[in-house]
Amino acid sequence: MTNGAAVPSAAHREPFEWRFLAPLLLGSTLNPINSSMIATGLVGIGVDFHTGPGTTASLISVLYLCSAVMQPTMGKLSTLFGPRRVFLAGIVILLAAGVVGAAAPAFGFLLLSRALIGIGTSAAYPTAMALVRKRADSRGTGVPGRVLGNFSIASQITMVFGLPLGGNLVGTFGWRALFLVNVPLALVTFVLTLVGVAKDGPGPRRDLGGLVSAVDLPGIALFAGATTSLLVFLADLGKPQWWLAAVAAVLGAALVLWERTAGQPLIDVRMLAANRPLQRTYLRQLLVGLGIYTALYGTSQWMEQGAGLGPSTVGLILLPLSGLSIVIARVVSIKGWVRTPLVLAGLALVLTAVVTLLITHHSSVPVLIGMSLLFGFSNGFSGFANQAALYVQAPAGEIAVASGLYRTFAYIGAIFSASLIGITFGPAATDAGFHTLGWVIGGIGAAVLLLAATDRAIPKMANAETPSSPGPSAATNRPPGRTSGAGPGPSAGPIP
């Protein structure tokens, strides 16, 4: 007998309750937090294993490379095996990586651990987007702006606190704690997922040959080769290895040719070729990432070398931009704004460049804080808006792969920025080099501004109809017999 109180059914409960979102948000933060924490342990690792700065820095690059390749790959696997299963598999890989890194007897084991961390954490974001999209579509909620905003904010928070967290772990327990901390994080995420995320439905039955064909191993191999070659080339444009650019171009062309004929491709190039708005969203993501990382890392380097400020002072100067980014991202996601924030993100980068051109090593700390707040505006405005544009432009059945590819473009921008800063500054970060960097940031900001202002396919609001259709759904671009790994799903247009 009940007490007369109404018990809400599953269909009427809050669709994005905390126990559903918590593991997805936590899992999605594990990649950025591991990206930033390792910086605090490089010196100690080099001392213990007698390696130089160049060798220890490979612990950073190997995670970026693996993440850039595996984000869309994990998205593809989730369409075949179910997003929850792939999410949990990634957490298990992360747990194993933490054990390997913490117990590493040689430097090679640390490289293996970082590669596994990149692979394991790459499962979280694309599968989380697939799970959110599935729930939103089943409940008819439209674009879940607050939820997408939470993912953007969670990533920003972990990037900010990754360095101080890593510093405390290294200072208290030594650098091995940077790897071991993944064990409790993985265990907590795994348990929360079991409790809060419903099981995937049964997948289609396939024999071994059908499974191998569905996974598209040749497509994954070609994508991995093309992406790795491109990123390694972009990482050192000061001394460009042009043969790597040629390899990336050849493998990229081979990837497109293969994916056009594959029954279940890793990347549906036919859909992507027809979906011009989605192409522009990827380009904006690359440019925004390139501009923000160039401003952030370039400014940090100049303040230490050119202005003679200590690392702790630089950290305090840059701290307010993170808080501002979080506040702006929250406001934008609550309001559901998409087009206007993207325009403002480009404008903020242009204004950053203008201020950069006026600053010298004599400039006061408040002026430097004001400059840093400008690219905090850009970061806050662009995070949710670009993510929301992707959400409404990607076909529902391919949201996992599309989200993974979205992250890949962000990694390209991040790696390209380091090389761009090196070319601009040369041997030392002087005022002249900093002003040259300002022109570069201004050019990137102008490109972002132009792309956002002229793209009429970007919706004004997250649940608003776009002025023009973002392109046909994936299903309409496939020849007869060509199927998606996740079923038809709605078209690439906005959720009604």
CA atoms within 13 A on the CB side of 186: 25
Question: Which of 198, 233, 252 is the endpoint of a domain?
Answer: 198
Contact (Cβ atoms closer than 8 angstroms) between residue 409 and residue 397: no
Q: Would 20 be classed as within a structural domain? A: yes
Q: Would 268 be classed as within a structural domain? A: no
Q: Would 203 be classed as within a structural domain? A: no
Give yes or no: residues 377 and 347 share one domain: yes
Question: Which of 261, 295, 314 is the endpoint of a domain?
Answer: 261
Contact (Cβ atoms closer than 8 angstroms) between residue 291 and residue 348: no
Of 247, 267, 13, 250, the closest CA to residue 126 belongs to 267
Taking the C-alpha atoms of residue 272 and residue 278, their distance in angstroms, rounded to an integer, is: 7
Q: Would 117 be classed as within a structural domain? A: yes
* β-sheet bridge partners, residue 151: none
Backbone dihedral angles phi then psi of residue 342, each to the nearest 5 degrees: -70, -40
Backbone dihedral angles phi then psi of residue 157, each to the nearest 5 degrees: -65, -45
Of 163, 58, 71, the closest CA to residue 111 belongs to 58
Give yes or no: residues 289 and 413 share one domain: yes
Q: Would 205 be classed as within a structural domain? A: no
The reported pTM is 0.82
Give yes or no: residues 302 and 185 share one domain: no
Taking the C-alpha atoms of residue 375 and residue 364, their distance in angstroms, rounded to an integer, is: 18
**Helix runs in 365-466, H state only:** 365-393, 399-425, 431-454
For residue 231, give its domain range.
Answer: 217-261
Give yes or no: residues 75 and 41 share one domain: yes
Q: How far is CA 302 from CA 189, 216, 306, 350, in A?
A: 39, 45, 5, 19
Contact (Cβ atoms closer than 8 angstroms) between residue 491 and residue 278: no
**Number of domains forming the structure of the chain:** 3
Give yes or no: residues 179 and 300 share one domain: no
Give yes or no: residues 330 and 358 share one domain: yes
Taking the C-alpha atoms of residue 425 and residue 428, their distance in angstroms, rounded to an integer, is: 6
Q: Would 204 be classed as within a structural domain? A: no
Give yes or no: residues 180 and 243 share one domain: no
Taking the C-alpha atoms of residue 496 and residue 486, their distance in angstroms, rounded to an integer, is: 20
What is the chain's pLDDT, residue by residue, as a tens digit (496 residues)? Answer: 444 444 445 445 677 888 999 999 999 999 988 987 887 788 888 889 988 777 887 888 899 899 999 999 999 999 999 999 999 999 999 999 999 999 999 999 999 999 999 999 999 999 999 999 999 888 887 778 888 888 888 877 776 667 667 878 888 888 999 999 999 999 999 999 999 999 988 866 766 666 777 888 999 999 999 999 999 998 888 888 999 999 999 999 999 999 999 888 999 999 999 999 999 999 999 999 899 888 888 888 888 888 888 766 777 787 788 788 888 988 998 888 999 999 999 999 999 999 999 998 888 889 989 888 888 898 889 988 998 999 899 998 889 999 999 999 988 988 888 888 888 888 778 899 999 999 999 999 999 999 999 999 998 888 754 444 444 333 333 443 343 333 333 332 332 2
Give yes or no: residues 151 and 97 share one domain: yes
Token digits of residue 219: 């497509």
Q: Would 9 be classed as within a structural domain? A: no
